[in-house]
A = this chain, B = another copy of it.
Amino acid sequence: MYAQGLDQTPANHVALSPISFIERAALVFPEKLAIVHGELRQNWLQTFSRCRRLASALQAKGIAVGDTVAVMLPNTPPMVEAHFGVPMAGAVLNSLNTRLDAASIAFMLNHGEAKLVIVDSEFAAVMGQALEILQKSHGRTPIVIEAQDEPFVAPTGISRETYEDLIASGDPEFEVVLPEDEWQSICLNYTSGTTGDPKGVVYSHRGAATNAISNILEWDMARHPVYLWTLPMFHCNGWCFPWTVAARAGVNVCLRKVDAQTIFDLIRRHGVTHYCAAPIVHSLLINAPQEMKADVPAGVKAMVAGAAPPAAMIEGMESLGFELTHVYGLTEVYGPAAVCVKHDEWESLDISERARLNSRQGVRYHLQADVRVLDPETMQPVPWDGETMGEIMFRGNIAMKGYLKNPTATEAAFAGGWFHSGDLAVQYPDGYVKIKDRSKDIIISGGENISSIEVEDVLYRHPAVLAAAVVAMPDPKWGETPCAFIELKPNAKVTEQDIVDFSKQHLAHFKVPRAVIFGEVPKTSTGKIQKFELRKQAGSVKAIDS
């Protein structure tokens, strides 16, 4: 009975797409501030109009549905606009990490077949080298557009056409057409590729819209938030927040470079209400001099991902008056797709217990179908006992379409109908998942598994430790043993033996680091510690007597 005469028509079925968010912001709140950058103030009508110009100008350059447009931009207005203008032209936005080397960029531009590249002048030199490799090795010569922005305004010669020229050539009345199919690709994001070539993660309009709305729900984000761009937009499209901010007709407070003084100034000046960042940025704010923090408004909401926030960070944020939400995800799930939802009852607990509860990766994001710890062999859920290890798996609309031109990796990632995160975890009786380790980071010592995260958690409790990372080092007797890399707080003085002694108080003997190396810990542009670098170093480290 319900199978007939009730079909999808253009009247009752329209593709889900974040493009519709900016359309509505411009219609309903045309005069509301959309972008702040230095002295620039741009409202939603202006921003929408510039995005339409961008889309029409791209089409005029021959960019068609399914073409890739690559951008190498900091968190500046062109980056916000690219998140709408590129998909409005039907194209796929490939945001490149601004810290990449020329060879990596060339690899991505070739693999993603970028037809056009928009590059900030700051990165013109490295992009120039990449384009040379691209031309020589692959015979590709994409159109190049240069985005100029203070203080990088001197011509670099990489292109004769600037981003503003491109915008000026576009039609502000360009007719926006949503994709016919919401499964259409919207973004291409390369994973950091710590092993092998980077993989190109492809997002759909449906998924992008779904995660952008989930961000609102997770944060109870009311209309007109003032969002500070501490998190790079090249990183999982800034966790889909360019679209979230448009859906809420909020303000994008741009930020070229992460710097504590600038961040506190912007928070005060624009009344920032929300920001996201890797742990390192939160630590930077917490450890900033007291005078920098004066008069910072209370109640700023912060999201952290990349590593569980240690107790010191939770306390630090509390003393700043900021509210911290711990989320978890990967490039393959559009950034965060799980959240450690806090409960009122937790507030009365002591800080160590609060930190323990908050350190968990939590439950599925609002509009994600499921996140669970499954046995990767049997695909059966592990018991919710907080002890049995398995792998975190996701399922739902907040999971990538797949890896570009890599059906083998895509099939492996989706084996058994779940996305395999590669993170080893347990699930607690309350359904919250907690990462024990990346499967490749686990240390196997004398047949026993050692969670590098468990050891790191202990090290972070030491008052002198700013950052800590533990990896496996080869051991003739045990196969592997833990090796700790530690970055100390300014002026802190600790010996290797102090760290070992401290660890022994909190860890089983076989989990205690057998070597401690002090120095700056290498991090990715998104603040993630580069364990693969450390593993290389650990290969030649000598264990201490214990």
**Pair A9/B404 contact, Cβ less than 8 Å:** no
Query: Per a CB cutoff under 8 Å, which of B7, B66, B419 touches A3?
Result: B66
Does A84 reach chain B (CB closer than 8 Å)? no
Name which residue of chain B comes closest to A17, CB basis.
Answer: B369
Minimal beta-carbon separation of A179 from chain B (angstroms) = 11
A518→B2 CA distance, assembly (Å): 46
Does A151 reach chain B (CB closer than 8 Å)? no
Name which residue of chain B comes closest to A2, CB basis.
Answer: B185
**Pair B364/A24 contact, Cβ less than 8 Å:** yes
Across-interface contacts of A183 in B (CB, < 8 A): 8, 13
Minimal beta-carbon separation of A114 from chain B (angstroms) = 11
Name which residue of chain B comes closest to A66, CB basis.
Answer: B2
Instruction: Using known A-B contacts A5-B407, A20-B369, A366-B247, determine if residue A399 contacts B222 with beta carbons closer than 8 Å.
Output: no
Minimal beta-carbon separation of A223 from chain B (angstroms) = 6
**Pair A405/B1 contact, Cβ less than 8 Å:** yes
**Pair A12/B406 contact, Cβ less than 8 Å:** no
A403→B4 CA distance, assembly (Å): 10
**Pair A406/B5 contact, Cβ less than 8 Å:** yes
Across-interface contacts of A8 in B (CB, < 8 A): 183
Across-interface contacts of A28 in B (CB, < 8 A): 341, 363, 431
Minimal beta-carbon separation of A88 from chain B (angstroms) = 15
**Pair B369/A1 contact, Cβ less than 8 Å:** no
- Number of identical monomers bound together in the oligomeric complex: 2
Does A457 reach chain B (CB closer than 8 Å)? no
A396→B31 CA distance, assembly (Å): 25
Name which residue of chain B comes closest to A397, CB basis.
Answer: B14
A405→B2 CA distance, assembly (Å): 8
**Pair B24/A366 contact, Cβ less than 8 Å:** yes
Minimal beta-carbon separation of A34 from chain B (angstroms) = 16
Minimal beta-carbon separation of A14 from chain B (angstroms) = 4
Does A113 reach chain B (CB closer than 8 Å)? yes
Minimal beta-carbon separation of A261 from chain B (angstroms) = 32
A399→B183 CA distance, assembly (Å): 21
Does A388 reach chain B (CB closer than 8 Å)? no
Does A10 reach chain B (CB closer than 8 Å)? yes
The number of chain A residues with a CB under 8 A from chain B is 62
**Pair B217/A247 contact, Cβ less than 8 Å:** yes
Query: Per a CB cutoff under 8 Å, which of B4, B395, B405 touches A11?
Result: B395
**Pair A1/B247 contact, Cβ less than 8 Å:** no
**Pair B405/A202 contact, Cβ less than 8 Å:** no
Across-interface contacts of A184 in B (CB, < 8 A): 2
Does A245 reach chain B (CB closer than 8 Å)? no
Across-interface contacts of A222 in B (CB, < 8 A): 220, 222
Query: Per a CB cutoff under 8 Å, which of B9, B223, B341 touches A414?
Result: B9
Across-interface contacts of A418 in B (CB, < 8 A): 11
A185→B223 CA distance, assembly (Å): 32
Does A92 reach chain B (CB closer than 8 Å)? yes
Across-interface contacts of A341 in B (CB, < 8 A): 28
- Complex interface residues of chain A between 298 and 332 (CB less than 8 A to chain B): none
A7→B10 CA distance, assembly (Å): 23
Across-interface contacts of A154 in B (CB, < 8 A): none
**Pair B6/A410 contact, Cβ less than 8 Å:** yes
**Pair B417/A11 contact, Cβ less than 8 Å:** yes
Instruction: Using known A-B contacts A185-B2, A404-B6, determine if residue A13 contacts B397 with beta carbons closer than 8 Å.
Output: yes
Does A168 reach chain B (CB closer than 8 Å)? no
**Pair A14/B220 contact, Cβ less than 8 Å:** no
Across-interface contacts of A543 in B (CB, < 8 A): none
Instruction: Using known A-B contacts A1-B404, A27-B431, A414-B9, determine if residue A14 contacts B217 with beta carbons closer than 8 Å.
Output: no
**Pair A14/B395 contact, Cβ less than 8 Å:** yes
Across-interface contacts of A431 in B (CB, < 8 A): 27-28
Bitwise, A184-202 to B at CB < 8 A (1) or not (0) is 1100000000000000001
Does A213 reach chain B (CB closer than 8 Å)? yes
**Pair B417/A10 contact, Cβ less than 8 Å:** yes
Minimal beta-carbon separation of A376 from chain B (angstroms) = 14
Does A401 reach chain B (CB closer than 8 Å)? yes
**Pair A410/B5 contact, Cβ less than 8 Å:** yes
Does A400 reach chain B (CB closer than 8 Å)? yes
Does A280 reach chain B (CB closer than 8 Å)? no
A2→B186 CA distance, assembly (Å): 10
A: residues with CB less than 8 A from B are 1-14, 16, 20, 24, 27-28, 66, 68, 92, 113, 178, 183-185, 202, 207, 213, 216-217, 220, 222-223, 247, 341, 363-364, 366-367, 369, 394-397, 399-407, 410, 413-414, 417-419, 431
18 pairs, A vs B, C-beta closer than 8 Å: A1-B66, A2-B202, A5-B406, A5-B410, A6-B202, A6-B401, A7-B401, A9-B417, A10-B417, A11-B394, A12-B207, A12-B414, A13-B183, A13-B397, A20-B367, A24-B364, A27-B363, A28-B341
Question: What 4 A-B pairs are tightest by C-beta distance, nearest first?
Answer: A10-B417, A6-B401, A12-B399, A220-B222
Known: A5-B404, A11-B419. 14 other contacts (CB 8 A): A2-B92, A5-B406, A6-B401, A6-B410, A8-B183, A11-B417, A11-B418, A12-B396, A12-B399, A14-B395, A14-B396, A28-B431, A213-B213, A220-B223
